[in-house]
Amino acid sequence: MYKINKRQIFGFVLLAVFCMVPWVINNTYIIKVISNAMLYSIIALSINLIVGFSGQLDFGRSAFAGLGGYFSAVVFTTYHVPFIIAFIGGALFAAFMGALLGLLCRYSSFDYLTLITIGFSEICRKVFEQWYSVTNGSFGFRTSRPSFFGFKFNSQQSMFYFCLVLLILCYIVIRRITKSKMGRGYKAIRDDEIAAAYSGIDIKNYKMVCFIIGSFFTGIAGAAMVHYTMFAAPTNYTIDESLIMLQMPILGGLGSLPGSIIGASVLTLLPEVSRGFYLYRLLFLGILLVILMRFAPNGLLGRHGIKDQIMDYISERRARNNGKPDKTNAEEKVVTAHGRNHEG
């Protein structure tokens, strides 16, 4: 049915190697960090869908992770609902709140959406913090590990696979969405709203649906995180956290799904590399962001991002060394830079 190409083989090999990680590495700390990076990757993917594809700047993503996480944890622990229902319920709840917010944002423009999402995340955080009877306030809410039909994900290894499967599922669905009519609609809205409207795209509905889908995935990742750490606290869902989440897809490249995973991995692994780094974290991130926006606004893997620029440079050098005339040089550059498909 499917034609298998080189890229896919490479992907499968990479995946197979990655699956071995818990068997090769016995250090639970490393496995924990990698699992965490995978969950953040899902969030980064969902943000990429909202920010990179439909061009809406959302500064309140952590609130949706929190909504999904708290809902799932509370329903699972307090009301003893089966895990799978609580888990999906958390994601659906986040999507529902996303729908509410999206409905509001139908009537407002770009900047307002940004501000409204910040406001929304502040409201959510306050609710998490003050609604003692349900969320246990600022002490945080304790919950337990996921369990499917009697199997409990108690070990780090099993959680690793749980996160991996979740990431793969989310990645496939998001990739399919971006490759479909919907994804093209989002990109069209991002590039030129008026032309998009004249292509028959219902802009307001599309933006809202994008927001809902994004919220669903943020919610599912949030729920997984809470069950993984077995703990939810309002301090995990601040604006600063949202901003960090936002930087992941931006670093990886807006519009590039593999980029989001790389961005999320870099930004979750970096603080773990050295504890002393924490003090200079913001300084480093700040300089990184400014330079990135200046020279490669599309991050590492986005269109004409750092990867493309390096490839361009290499092919240009190679062409020059071969002594080709200038014209072919330029043509080759175009082909190497843009002949590939970046969302794959």
Partner 1 sequence: MVIQNLINALSVGSVYALLAIGYNMVYGILEKLNFAHGDVYAVGCFVTYALILTATNPFIAIFTGLVVGFLLNLGVERFAYRPLRKAGRIAPTISAVGIAYIMRNAIQLIWGPETFSFDLKIFKLSHFKVGNTQIGTLQIYILAISIGLMILLSLALKYTKWGQAIVCISQSIPTSELMGIPANRVIALVYGFGATLGVIGGLLFCTYYQMIYIGIGFAYGTMKAWMASIWGGIGSLKGSVIGAMALGISEVFVSSYVSSNFRDAFVWLIFIVFILIWPRGMYPAQISEKI
Partner 2 sequence: MGVIMKVENVSKHFAGLKALNKVSLEINDDEIFGIIGPNGAGKTTFFNVISGFNSPTSGKVFFAGKEMTGSNITQFCTRGIARTFQNIRIFSEMTVMENLLVGMHNRIHSTFFGVCMNTRKQRDVEKKAADKAMEIMEYLNIATFANEYAANLSYGTQRLVEIGRALASEPKLLLLDEPSAGMNQQETMELMKLIQGIRKLGPAIIVIEHNMKFMMNLSYRIAVLNFGELLMVDTPKEVQEDPRVIEAYLGKGEEY
What's the closest the beta carbon of residue 327 comes to partner 1, in angstroms? 29
> Of 91-130, which residues contact partner 1 (CB under 8 A)?
104, 107-112, 114-116, 118-120, 122-123, 126-127, 130
Q: Give 81 or 104: the residue with its C-beta nearer to partner 1.
A: 104
Q: Give 11 or 286: the residue with its C-beta nearer to partner 1.
A: 286
Terminal-to-terminal C-alpha distance of the chain: 19
- Piece of the chain touching partner 1 by CB under 8 A; list 72-80, 162-170, 262-270, 275-283: 275-283
- Piece of the chain touching partner 2 by CB under 8 A; list 81-89, 267-275, 310-318, 331-339: 331-339
Q: What whole-number distance in Å separates Cα of residue 301 and Cα of residue 344?
A: 11
> Of 292-311, which residues contact partner 1 (CB under 8 A)?
292-294, 297
What's the closest the beta carbon of residue 330 comes to partner 1, in angstroms? 24
The verdict on 219 binding partner 2 (CB under 8 A) reads no
Q: What whole-number distance in Å separates Cα of residue 53 and Cα of residue 201?
A: 15
The verdict on 6 binding partner 2 (CB under 8 A) reads no
> Quick one: DSSP state of residue 231?
E
> Quick one: DSSP state of residue 139?
G
Q: What whole-number distance in Å separates Cα of residue 68 and Cα of residue 70?
A: 6
Per-residue binding string, partner 2, 232-271, x by CB under 8 A, is: -----------------------x----------------
Cβ atoms 210, 58 nearer than 8 A = no
The verdict on 191 binding partner 2 (CB under 8 A) reads yes
**Among 243, 266, 269, 270, interactor with partner 1 by CB under 8 A:** 243
Q: By C-alpha distance, which of 305, 55, 306, 16 is closest to 185? A: 55
Encode 258-289: b = buried (16+ Cβ within 10 Å), e = exposed. bbbbbbbbbbbeeeeeeeeeeeeeeeebeebe
Instruction: Count CB-CB contacts under 10 A for residue 161.
Output: 14
Cβ atoms 255, 191 nearer than 8 A = no
What's the closest the beta carbon of residue 172 comes to partner 2, in angstroms? 8
Could you say which of partner 1, partner 2, none residue 104 binds, taking C-beta under 5 to 8 angstroms by partner kind? Answer: partner 1
Q: By C-alpha distance, which of 243, 239, 245 is closest to 222? A: 245
Cβ atoms 301, 249 nearer than 8 A = no
**Contacting residues toward partner 1, per CB under 8 A:** 51, 55, 57, 104, 107-112, 114-116, 118-120, 122-123, 126-127, 130, 194, 243, 246-247, 250, 254, 279-283, 285-290, 292-294, 297
Residues that bind partner 2 (CB under 8 A): 173, 176-177, 180-182, 184-185, 187-188, 190-192, 194-203, 255, 303, 334, 338-339, 341
